[in-house]
Structure 1
Amino acid sequence: MQYKNSLIRVVVKLDSILGSLINTVAVLLLTLIFILGLAQVFWRFVLNHPIVWSEEMIRLAYVWICYLGWIIAERADSHIRITALSNRLPKEMQKWLQVFCHLLTILFSVLMVIYGGRLIGAGAK
């Protein structure tokens, strides 16, 4: 039993560290978008010499913020949901519905990885 408790503590600590890292990276990417956006406007309209790579970098950072935001919202259990039906269910059914929704989320994530990988492979040809 001692081993199980120490393993749980390690997993909880790793989860906490990973959550902090994800939040930090999301904040840094948002800061990068803001600074690059300002720099792009300044160089384009004031210096009349636009930064060529800034739009691509902003777009890529935005995509990663969307992915990280999905993770942050999932960890906080704060995704948008319609609860009119689920609130009327008994507590036991609500738990099973939540498990079902998490399984659907995992399935969707796996499908995104599979078909995203196929799209990347097709785009590389």
Structure 2
Amino acid sequence: MKNLMTTVALVLGQIAKAALWLAGAGLLLMTVFITAQVFMRYVMNSSLVWSEPAAVILMGWFIFLGAAVGIREGYHLSFDVLLYFLPKGAKLWLYSISDLVVTAFGVGMAWYGSQLALSAWDVKLPSLGISGAVDFMPLVVGGCLLTLFSLERLARRAAGLPTARFGDAEPEAA
């Protein structure tokens, strides 16, 4: 079981790394778009009509991809005060309950995001000339990754392996 989990962790680690690089590239590209828009508007007295909608779409991508990786790595928001006073066994149960809730949230994001994307499939974004479904794709992909990474955390915990920074086991050496 641990060999399988190690292999799965390596694959999901590569997916997380790719998602993080895409999120970083999206953030950088969004910054370029907004900088170009400000330059064009205030220096050239002309506006790039596509820059704001493109930047908002990119923002959705880097937010949801980054959030999914944050879940995998254990950097999402949490309320930890109670955990300082509980024994290790109780902490593991609370971590697992938290991961189950996050899994359900990820499934909801993917499901309802796909419903929104399908409903906007035939709508054309006028300034970009692409389908309105593109607006909702970060929800779908982010929800799928959130679900996948939360399930990985649950499986790793069940196998007695570390789950990032939560401290339910010491992290393995890299």
TM value normalised by structure 2: 0.63
What is the one-letter code of the residue matched to 2:104? Answer: L
| Pair 1:110–1:9, CA change in 2 (3 A) | closer
Distance across 2 between alignment mates of 1:23 and 1:37: 21
- Tell me by how many angstroms 1:13 deviates: 2.8
SS at match of 2:81: coil
Residue 73 of structure 2 corresponds to which residue in structure 1? 76
Distance across 1 between alignment mates of 2:6 and 2:94: 28
Conserved? CA contact 2:23–2:63, under 8 Å: no
- Tell me by how many angstroms 1:47 deviates: 1.1
Equivalent position to 2:108, from 99, 106, 111: 111
Distance across 2 between alignment mates of 1:18 and 1:34: 24
In structure 2, runs of 5+ residues without a counterpart are 123-174
Do residues 101 (structure 1) and 117 (structure 2) align?
no
CA RMSD of aligned residues (A): 2.0
In structure 1, runs of 5+ residues without a counterpart are none
Equivalent position to 2:43, from 34, 41, 46: 46
Higher relative contact order by CA 8 Å / sep ≥ 6: 1 or 2?
Answer: 2
Looking at secondary structure, tell me which structure has more helix per residue. Answer: 1
Do residues 63 (structure 1) and 60 (structure 2) align?
yes
What is the one-letter code of the residue matched to 1:97? Answer: L
Structure 1 residues 103-112 or 78-87, which shifts more? 78-87
Do residues 32 (structure 1) and 48 (structure 2) align?
no
| Pair 1:104–1:8, CA change in 2 (3 A) | closer
The count of aligned residue pairs is 122
